[in-house]
Amino acid sequence: MPPSPIASPPPARERTRQLRRVALSGLLGTAVEFYDFLVYGTVAALVFGDLFFPGTDPAVATIAAFGAFAAGYVARPLGGVVFGHFGDRLGRKSMLLLTMGLMGGASFLIGLLPTYDTIGVWAPVLLITLRVVQGVAIGGEWGGATLMVVEHAGERRRGLWSSFTQMGAPLGSLLSSLVVTLVVALPRDQFTAWGWRVPFLLGVVLLGVGLFVRLKVVESPLFAAVRKDRAEARLPVLDVLRRPRPLLLACGVGIGAFTAQSLLTSYLIAYATGIGYTRPQVLTALTVSACVALVVLPAASALSDRAGRRPVVLAGAVACAALAFPVLALVDSRSPGLLILAVVLGHGIAQSVMYGPLGALLTEMFGTRVRYTGASLGYQGATLVGAGFSPMIAGSLVAAHGGSGTPVALLLCGGAAITALTLLFLRETHTDPLTEPAPAGHRAPAKEDVPS
């Protein structure tokens, strides 16, 4: 006997259920990404210079530890190419399972690494190798997770739904700050001996939850239509590079957000502790900022559905540049309360307003056939330039200027200026149908992006 109509949920209800599941999957995937990367950034600032790069000046050791931090970012574009290619050819879901597994697995192995005192030069070599694996995995994670949400969301409220993926950043930051706060409360010798490993090892719990949710996600309906028509791009990266303007604009528009994210989280720990703040005080500021960002991100993303992506991102860039020197002045006050205010203003609000709409914006800039590759390369190119080298450059400039935070403020202003200038060359995309994309920066759709 055939099932009654009541037994099967209406298609609209099923689509809504899948959209919520995809949004949760994107949230957890990005949370794993940022948890692992920010745990590394935090621990690198605290002890990795001594554990993996000993025998050098403390400032040089810190710069070397952040050099390993940058290695993960250098590998990201490679991940964007590799996972973008197979994501555009074979499907989004399988690539997202693989990227999450690689990311969490590499982080877990970092928690098991012997230090320089145990195996000598192989310790930093293995550390950098695992950072590269993390970078490759993350190179394919964000683009796939975001476009899965946007492609499931359809034409309405794409910004709001994509904000779930963006919210994984402060959620990962919040979780990493809470875990690290607990372990830094250990006596210094215990934290150096084994406590620093705990945050890396605990990440496997978040990984398990994320994989469980992601296994239940269905393939993107837009990609399924491309697959049904056998219209997949043969070499997506060549199609993207053949008309590089959208890719370059995607890289440029994200630089401000990632410069601010990196300087006001990972680097801030080293800078603030260097001028007298305790580690718990800095981590408390980061925790409060992450809580604020969890509210600001969806608000800014939802606003971009109404006002447009460009004006919202521009407002964040202007706010970041305007607040750069006041934020550093508040940090330099050496007041724990003002430190919290500084991080909330700079990261929790200004950076979040810039970052929130990027998920929908970058996804809308590329056609379905090359969207995984294009969005991933654009995003990871921005992280490489904006976040990958910022802590190392900031550390070098601050050391060269006698500990002054002025170079940090100038870097924040520079990143925001690049984002603002890029927006001048971008057209608005929030009303574009995803099924007939017109890549931003072009007057007409690229031939390879027009659906068959």
pLDDT of residue 3: 47
Contact 114/124 with Cβ under 8 angstroms? no
* Distant-in-sequence, close-in-space partners of 102: CB < 8 Å, separation ≥ 6: 133, 134, 136, 137
Question: By C-alpha distance, which of 173, 174, 183 is closest to 111?
Answer: 183
Q: What is the rounded distance in angstroms from the CA atom of residue 298 to the CA atom of residue 215?
A: 25
Q: Report whether pLDDT(293) > 60.
A: yes
pLDDT of residue 70: 65
Q: Report whether pLDDT(446) > 60.
A: no
Q: Report whether pLDDT(448) > 60.
A: no
pLDDT of residue 67: 63
Contact 14/137 with Cβ under 8 angstroms? no
pLDDT of residue 55: 66
pLDDT of residue 156: 75
Give pLDDT tens digits for 76-85: 888 888 998 8
* Higher local confidence (pLDDT), 377 or 56: 377
Q: Report whether pLDDT(312) > 90.
A: yes
Q: Report whether pLDDT(10) > 60.
A: no
Residue 60: band (very low, low, confident or very high) from pLDDT cuts 50, 70, 90: low
Mean pLDDT, rounded, for 387-416: 86
pLDDT of residue 259: 94
Mean pLDDT, rounded, for 398-412: 87
* Distant-in-sequence, close-in-space partners of 295: CB < 8 Å, separation ≥ 6: none
Q: Report whether pLDDT(333) > 60.
A: yes
Q: What is the rounded distance in angstroms from the CA atom of residue 5 to the CA atom of residue 435?
A: 31
**Residue 350 DSSP symbol:** I
pLDDT of residue 225: 83
Mean pLDDT, rounded, for 259-276: 87
Q: Report whether pLDDT(283) > 80.
A: yes
Give pLDDT tens digits for 202-254: 888 888 888 888 888 888 888 888 888 787 778 888 999 998 999 999 999 99
Give pLDDT tens digits for 113-150: 998 888 887 888 888 888 888 888 888 888 888 888 88
Q: Report whether pLDDT(343) > 70.
A: yes
With 0-12 / 13-18 / 19 or more C-beta atoms within 10 angstroms meaning exposed / middle / buried, residue 420 is: buried
Mean pLDDT, rounded, for 351-366: 93
**Residue 1 DSSP symbol:** -
> How far are the Cα atoms of 127, 248, 437 from residue 170, in angstroms, in the given order?
25, 26, 30
Q: Report whether pLDDT(14) > 50.
A: yes
Residue 66: band (very low, low, confident or very high) from pLDDT cuts 50, 70, 90: low
pLDDT of residue 1: 45
Q: Report whether pLDDT(264) > 80.
A: yes
Q: End-to-end CA distance of the chain, in Å?
A: 40
Mean pLDDT, rounded, for 376-392: 86
**SS3 readout for 38-72:** HHHHHHHHHHHHHHHCCCCCHHHHHHHHHHHHHHH
Structure tokens at 236: 């997506």
Q: Report whether pLDDT(450) > 60.
A: no
Q: What is the rounded distance in angstroms from the CA atom of residue 68 to the CA atom of residue 134?
A: 12
**Residue 449 DSSP symbol:** G
pLDDT of residue 288: 92
> How far are the Cα atoms of 21, 39, 80, 260, 329 from residue 268, in angstroms, in the given order?
35, 14, 28, 10, 13
Structure tokens at 83: 């996972």
* Higher local confidence (pLDDT), 115 or 295: 295
pLDDT of residue 59: 62
- One DSSP character per residue, 121-150 reads THHHHHHHHHHHHHHHHHHHHHHHHHHHHH
What is the average pLDDT score of the chain? 84
Lowest mean pLDDT among 22-36, 52-66, 362-376: 52-66
Contact 28/168 with Cβ under 8 angstroms? yes
Helix, strand, or coil here: 112?
A: coil
Give pLDDT tens digits for 143-176: 888 888 888 887 778 999 999 998 988 888 888 8
pLDDT of residue 152: 85
Our CA angle for 368, 373, 379, nearest 5°, is: 110
